[in-house]
Amino acid sequence: MTATDAGSVTTADPANRFSRPQRLAIQALVLLSLLSLTRMWTGFDNLTSSGTIGAALRLTVPILLAGLAALWSDRVGVVNIGIEGMMILGTWFGAYGAWQFDPWIGLVFAIIGGMIGGLIHAIGTIRFGIDQVISGVVINLLALSGGRFLSELAFVGEVQGGISQSPPQKRGIPIIDIPFLAGGDLFGWDTPDMFGWLEERQWFLLGDLAGIGRGLTGGVSMASLFALAMVPLSAWVLWRTAFGLRMRSSGENPWAGESLGVNINRVRYQALVISGGLAGLGGGFLSIVSSSFYRQGQTAGRGFIGLATAIFGNWTPSGILGGAALFGYSEGIKLVAGGSLTGLFLFVALIGLTVTLSSLVLRKQQRALIAAAVGVVAWVGYLTIAEVPESLTQGLPYFITLVVLATASQRLRPPSANGVPYRPGEAH
């Protein structure tokens, strides 16, 4: 080894010795350890309880599907601001199908309703060249008013129905407990609840892992499992198939793709219909699984949060899952364990201390100063705030989303041609 080589080894960033999955695993373990320490210090067991995690999962799924909808549209170069409207269509059509027929048929109706919105967006932006943002805004407005109009036609006069809500569905989608992990039934035998047993012990880190595992494997809707399967499926299609390659070429450089024989417009039509279907499924989840009927305003801006998670996740399925889980957890702890929110100040303070120390070791003084400042503010908040006002807890998920987007902005790389107008045969 030369002197130059030796010098490069000694001055290299120690973090580069690990692969990206290894770094992510280490970071997740450190964060969970700090959260476990916070739980034990404060006595707020709900921070990692199975009830909080189960609620977080149910709240994560619609955001996840909206984020995947944004992923499919952005990856072909079309901005889809209309995801919120497509979710609204999914809530209405899904509730109608579940009320008239069956909840599974309702989910199919929800997907079709979202696909209609995606097709409208595709026709407007691809066929007629309407500005992509304007087309998305129009879809949001049409879905909002269209849902009310359709409700007047279908729900007014029905039992428990009205212009702003549908009658309740006759039955729900099955809820399952995974055998041995969450005490599920196996051929009539109640299997042991391994995660539940460990969670009751409240041991450091193990109790928290068990609470998370119990929340993800106990009382889980089969629709949630179907929605989560969209993450690896999207990753496989986009990065392991010829169709996915054509899609990504449409978002990176459609003119180069066109020169290789790719029908860019056809690919964009297909992707936007898929995007609308995913958004519609997210809306159907809200009206069929999270609730048992359609209600006006049910999406509550989740389509826009989905757009934010796509950005935060750097337009990758796994990153979107992480962003949606962060939002779902912040929303879940607000609903299930609102009194434990002050413990999050201590959690943030511990994160600030950890980041400060690691940054000093890596000689990144600016990051160390910022982390130290955040940690001090969080520590003062933990010592002085006895109860977080409800007006602030309502905005906690949105505040966390803004903070995450602000801190992640330096490493983001959107598709190069995202939002750029394209016409076949035109040179760039």
Q: Which of 1-15, 69-83, 407-421 has the highest mean pLDDT?
A: 69-83
Residue 2 scores a pLDDT above 50: no
Residue 174, classed as helix, strand or coil, is coil
Tell me the H-state helices in 204-301: 206-217, 222-228, 230-240, 242-252, 254-259, 264-285
Residue 416, classed as helix, strand or coil, is coil
Q: What's the pTM value of the predicted model, to 2 decimals?
A: 0.91
pLDDT reported for residue 4: 44
Neighbours of 400 (CB within 10 A): 17
Mean pLDDT score of the chain: 89
pLDDT reported for residue 8: 43
Angle at 305 between CA 299 and CA 308, to 5 degrees: 160
pLDDT reported for residue 85: 97
Give the pairing type, strands 185-186 and 189-190: antiparallel
pLDDT reported for residue 425: 74
In Å, how far from its chain's centre is CA 170?
29
pLDDT confidence of 18, banded at 50, 70, 90? confident
pLDDT reported for residue 342: 84
416 φ, ψ (degrees, to nearest 5): -60, -35
Contact (CB, 8 A) for 62 and 397: no
Residue 5 scores a pLDDT above 70: no
pLDDT reported for residue 23: 80
pLDDT reported for residue 408: 60
List residues bridging with 190 in a β-sheet.
185
Across 132-156, b (16+ Cβ under 10 Å) vs e yields beebbebbbebbbebbeebbeebbe
The closest of 95, 72, 111 to 310, measured between CA atoms, is 72
Residue 414 scores a pLDDT above 60: yes
Residue 16 scores a pLDDT above 70: no
pLDDT reported for residue 19: 77
The arithmetic mean of pLDDT across residues 58-74, rounded, is 96
* 173 sits in which H/E element: none
pLDDT reported for residue 318: 92
Q: Tell me the two tokens of residue 154.
A: 């279908």
pLDDT reported for residue 187: 82
The closest of 300, 295, 282, 309 to 224, measured between CA atoms, is 282
Digit-coded pLDDT (tens) for 135-174: 999 999 999 999 999 999 999 999 999 999 999 998 889 9
The arithmetic mean of pLDDT across residues 245-269, rounded, is 94
Digit-coded pLDDT (tens) for 289-339: 999 999 999 998 999 999 989 988 889 999 999 889 988 888 888 787 667
Least trusted range by pLDDT, from 62-71, 217-226, 257-266, 387-396: 387-396
Residue 14 scores a pLDDT above 70: no
Residues 6+ apart with CB under 8 A from 112: 93, 277, 280
Digit-coded pLDDT (tens) for 341-379: 788 889 989 999 998 999 899 888 888 998 899 899 989
Contact (CB, 8 A) for 373 and 356: no
Residue 125 scores a pLDDT above 70: yes
